[in-house]
Amino acid sequence: DTVINYPVAQGEDNSYYLYHLADGTYNQNGCLFMDHKNNPDFTDDNTVIYGHHMRSGSMFASLVKYADQAYYEVRPVFYLVTRRGRYRLEIFSAYTTTRDSDAYTLKFATKEEKDEWLVKVGEESDIRTGKQVSENDHIVTLSTCAYSFHGARYVVHAKLISIL
């Protein structure tokens, strides 16, 4: 029961869709968009999707509500539908970070490096999920602005699971 129900675009950079809709129309609200360096098929270690935190409560504004354990317990998953398939996103971590944080690491050199990253983002989390995530899993990170300090971002990490 979140308001997040939008198309996800991907551009040649991470600026265009800040102020354009998925169809290319200029719009102050922009649209949700995948990091331009990610593979569009979600095969990277970590696929990042960005969206504005709108005062109206639209776009990714509700992500910051995942700082509350009770909110998470009622809404522990997202669903993602693409041309290639349908996915269940099982949330395992959510927290405030900086825009240059390693939460935005897209690929890891080794499985050990990814495992260390998973431990770190788990320790950062505002919520306790009990979800098991391994270095073999693909992760989707949802990111929006947070207003707790200058340059703050709120991220929600989820394990990507293909469903039919």
Cα separation, 99 vs 141, in Å, equals: 13
Q: Is 145 a catalytic residue?
A: yes
Q: Which of 34, 63, 145, 155 is catalytic?
A: 145
Dihedral sign from CA coordinates of 108, 63, 162, 42: negative
Q: Which amino acids are annotated catalytic? A: 145
